[in-house]
């Protein structure tokens, strides 16, 4: 069983700034279509459609192409253990998408360290993470 560290205000601010910088950097050099993978994390009994609709609305507002729709059916776990999130990272490596759009930070992790650990590979790949809800709106 993993221990959850509740996000602090200072950490939320720092991680929000980092995430926004990654997203801005990823979008900066794109000429034309901006392609994103839409992603949500839901419990096994939960329908992913409502959360995906929230992310789809974000993509529509930003005029991004939703190239992939993905969701993992699990309780919160380390992001590294989620197969659909791994698929999106592979799509980023293969330059099929420019980033990931999620409903909220909770789709990635409610743990500051896990969340930040997910942002670093995105930075290395030149990709961004967009959230329909801000980090502070957990």
Q: What pTM does this model have?
A: 0.89
State yes or no: pLDDT of 138 exceeds 70.
no
Q: What region, left, alpha or beta, does residue 115 occupy, with left being phi > 0 and alpha being psi -120 to 50 degrees?
A: alpha
Tokens of 5: 């560290």
**In the chain, domain spans:** 34-131
The model's pLDDT over 4-22, given as tens digits with 9 standing for 90+, comes to: 444 457 888 899 999 999 9
What's the rounded mean pLDDT across residues 55-72?
Answer: 97
| C-alpha distances in Å from residue 11, one per residue of 3, 54, 111 | 17, 25, 10
Question: What are the pLDDT digits (tens) for 90-113?
Answer: 999 999 999 999 999 999 988 889
Give the end-to-end CA distance of the chain in Å, rounded to a whole number: 21
Task: Using DSSP, state whether 110 is helix, strand or coil.
Answer: coil
Do 100 and 127 touch, CB atoms closer than 8 A?
yes
Chain centre distance of CA 67? 14
Q: What is the pLDDT of residue 110?
A: 86
Residue 77 in contact with residue 2, Cβ under 8 Å? Answer: yes
CATH class of 34-131: alpha beta
């Amino acid at each position: 069983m993993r221990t959850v560290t509740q996000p602090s205000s200072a950490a939320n601010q720092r991680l929000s700034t980092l995430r926004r910088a990654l997203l801005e950097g990823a979008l900066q050099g794109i000429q034309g279509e901006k392609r994103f993978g839409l992603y949500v994390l839901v419990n096994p009994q939960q329908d992913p459609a409502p959360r995906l609709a929230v992310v789809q609305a974000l993509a529509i507002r930003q005029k991004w192409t939703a190239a992939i729709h993905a969701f993992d059916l699990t309780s919160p776990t380390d992001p590294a253990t989620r197969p659909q999130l791994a698929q999106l990272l592979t799509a980023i490596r293969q330059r099929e998408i420019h980033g990931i759009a999620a409903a909220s930070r909770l789709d990635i992790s409610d743990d500051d360290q896990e969340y930040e650990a997910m942002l670093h590979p995105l930075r290395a790949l030149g990709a961004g993470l967009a959230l329909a809800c801000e980090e502070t709106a957990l």
